[in-house]
């Protein structure tokens, strides 16, 4: 792969310590980089609360309707809003102050999610979920694109995979406690109370982000004359199409996202409907699954250095497919938990590799637009896939649907062997 566009960045905020020592961000261990540390804490807290909503919102729908198809429809509506937001997210992120944008997204989601438990005090209102979730998913996409664009400036190019791995690992650690607590809160106080915890977490995350000093962008590209939003999107797409590995990854992840966006709903439905377990069991299984994400995040930098990008990404997707294929057939809760952990571990490894590669090869002024274009194309069909997956599970059962989707994921990994992804270099 080419690394001409990737360069070592100055420490955000012009840290006095860095100036005195003559060090760049990537020259010091991550644990000694103050701004990355605060940013790291903010994201961990946000994920801790967000994992409550990951379980609570589907449980609210299932509790009120008993339908996995309605759960999938909610996921699809939220996913569609994220895709629409992704079209413009990169242009917005590259135009505005990224720190303020991240804080604003957190505060807005705090308010929106906070409305749900208040309304639920007077009785279930399913329509509210279909109104709030799309807005939160759109804000989440803006936040996610902004998040990707600031990590390189915080740690430098050489530590990107390590930083992304650590962010994912601690997020997954929070994801172990979050689903477990969410299941217990949902069992004791109802899923709406778990959504309230999610709302509070966004407020804490915003407070932490106030303390982070992000690096000023070179040339302050926000002040110059800029092209229109659609031209910005085309610029991002053009970069993707011009890079052989990113072009292939975009196509492959288009299919992978279509097949797997509805997985969470499928697992919850399988545990509660097919196996007859309660909300506490759902939280426990999700927590065990998050342990897999921790494992994958901690291993990804080492595995990528040893095997190279192509084998790491392709092998991860293949194992995801095998785990997915077995989920619907598993009749014991421990087996469901282990397969979920295997899927999430490998999905996390593949995702971290993909994100790190984009950050490494994309010029700083284009990073937001390229990320936006990548996610727009990757998730364009995912909402339809989630709706179809859950509808098929309700009509045909979870076992055959999981087997078909898992087999298709394995085929995507095989297809990657015939693309430039296979030859992507080490490091």
Task: Report pLDDT digits (tens) over 310-338.
Answer: 899 999 999 999 999 998 788 888 999 99
Residue 223: per-residue pLDDT: 44
Residue 19: pLDDT over 50: no
Query: For residue 379, which phi and psi values (nearest 5 degrees)?
Result: -100, 10
Question: Averaged over 272-277, what is the pLDDT?
Answer: 82
Percent of the chain with pLDDT over 90: 15
Residue 76: per-residue pLDDT: 83
Most confident option among 189-193, 255-259, 283-287: 255-259
CATH of domain 28-217+228-423: 1.20.1250.20
The pLDDT tens digits for 24-37 are 444 555 556 667 77
Of the given ranges (90-99, 152-161, 183-192), which has the lowest mean pLDDT? 152-161
Percent of the chain with pLDDT over 70: 81
Residue 27: per-residue pLDDT: 52
308: left (phi > 0), else alpha (psi -120 to 50), else beta?
left
Residue 225: per-residue pLDDT: 44
Of the pLDDT bands very low, low, confident and very high (cuts 50, 70, 90), residue 110 is: very high
* Residues 161 and 304: beta-carbon distance below 8 Å: yes
Residue 413: per-residue pLDDT: 94
CA-to-CA distance for 427 and 301, rounded, in angstroms?
8
CA-to-CA distance for 383 and 379, rounded, in angstroms?
7
Residue 239: pLDDT over 80: yes
Alpha helices (runs of H) in 328-417, residue ranges in sequence order: 333-361, 367-379, 382-396, 398-416
Residue 8: per-residue pLDDT: 29
* Residues 132 and 196: beta-carbon distance below 8 Å: no
With 0-12 / 13-18 / 19 or more C-beta atoms within 10 angstroms meaning exposed / middle / buried, residue 219 is exposed
What count of other Cβ atoms lies within 10 Å of the Cβ of residue 16?
9
Residue 217: per-residue pLDDT: 56
Question: Averaged over 357-384, what is the pLDDT?
Answer: 81
Residue 410: pLDDT over 90: yes
* Residues 202 and 49: beta-carbon distance below 8 Å: yes
Of the pLDDT bands very low, low, confident and very high (cuts 50, 70, 90), residue 216 is: low
Q: Which CA distances in Å does 313 have to 121, 169, 178, 381, 419? A: 46, 18, 27, 21, 12
Residue 220: pLDDT over 70: no
CA-to-CA distance for 272 and 287, rounded, in angstroms?
16
* Residues 103 and 214: beta-carbon distance below 8 Å: no
CA-to-CA distance for 162 and 36, rounded, in angstroms?
12
Of the pLDDT bands very low, low, confident and very high (cuts 50, 70, 90), residue 157 is: low
Residue 366: pLDDT over 90: no
Question: Where in the chain are the domains?
Answer: 28-217+228-423
Angle at 197 between CA 193 and CA 201, to 5 degrees: 165
Of the given ranges (116-125, 232-241, 331-340), which has the lowest mean pLDDT? 232-241
Q: Which CA distances in Å does 217 have to 21, 27, 156, 387, 412? A: 22, 20, 13, 40, 37
CA dihedral 130, 134, 135, 141 (to 10 degrees): 160
| Backbone CA torsion sign across 296, 302, 305, 311 | negative
Of the pLDDT bands very low, low, confident and very high (cuts 50, 70, 90), residue 108 is: very high
Question: Averaged over 40-58, what is the pLDDT?
Answer: 75
219 vs 177, more confident: 177
Residue 158: per-residue pLDDT: 67
* Residues 359 and 26: beta-carbon distance below 8 Å: no
């Amino acid at each position: 792969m080419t690394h001409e566009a990737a360069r070592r960045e100055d420490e955000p905020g012009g840290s006095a310590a860095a100036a005195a020592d003559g060090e760049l961000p990537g020259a010091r261990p991550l644990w000694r980089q103050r701004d990355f540390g605060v940013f790291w804490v903010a994201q961990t807290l946000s994920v801790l609360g967000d994992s409550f909503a990951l379980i609570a919102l589907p449980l609210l729908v299932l509790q009120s309707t008993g339908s996995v198809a309605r759960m999938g429809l909610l996921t699809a509506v939220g996913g569609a809003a994220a895709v629409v937001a992704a079209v413009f997210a990169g242009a917005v992120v590259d135009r505005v102050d990224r720190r303020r944008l991240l804080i604003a997204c957190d505060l807005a989601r705090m308010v929106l999610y906070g409305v749900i438990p208040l309304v639920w005090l007077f009785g279930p209102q399913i329509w509210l979920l279909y109104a709030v979730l799309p807005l939160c998913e759109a804000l989440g996409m803006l936040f996610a694109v902004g998040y990707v664009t600031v990590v390189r400036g915080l740690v430098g190019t050489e530590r990107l995979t390590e930083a992304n791995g650590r962010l994912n690992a601690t997020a997954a650690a929070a994801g172990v406690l979050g689903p477990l607590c969410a299941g217990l809160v949902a069992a004791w106080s109802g899923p709406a109370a778990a959504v309230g915890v999610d709302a509070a977490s966004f407020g804490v995350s915003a407070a932490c982000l106030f303390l982070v000093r992000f690096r000023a962008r070179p040339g302050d590209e926000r002040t110059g004359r800029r092209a229109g939003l659609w031209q910005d999107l085309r610029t991002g797409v053009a970069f993707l199409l011009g890079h052989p590995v990113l072009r292939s990854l975009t196509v492959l992840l288009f299919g992978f996202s279509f097949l797997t966006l509805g997985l969470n709903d499928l697992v919850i439905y399988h545990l509660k409907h097919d196996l007859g377990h309660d909300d506490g069991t759902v939280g426990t299984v999700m927590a065990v699954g998050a342990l897999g994400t921790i494992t994958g995040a901690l291993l990804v930098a080492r595995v990528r250095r040893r095997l190279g990008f192509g084998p790491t990404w392709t092998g991860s997707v293949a194992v995801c497919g095998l785990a997915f294929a077995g989920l619907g057939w598993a009749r014991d809760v421990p087996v469901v938990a282990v397969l979920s952990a295997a899927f999430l571990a490998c999905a996390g490894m593949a995702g971290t590799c993909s994100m790190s590669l984009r950050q490494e090869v994309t010029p700083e002024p284009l990073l937001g637009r390229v990320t936006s274009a990548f996610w727009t194309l990757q998730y364009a069909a995912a909402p339809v896939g989630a709706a179809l997956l859950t509808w098929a599970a309700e009509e045909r059962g979870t076992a055959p649907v999981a087997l078909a989707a898992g087999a298709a994921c394995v085929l995507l990994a095989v297809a990657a062997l015939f693309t430039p992804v296979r030859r992507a270099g080490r490091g």
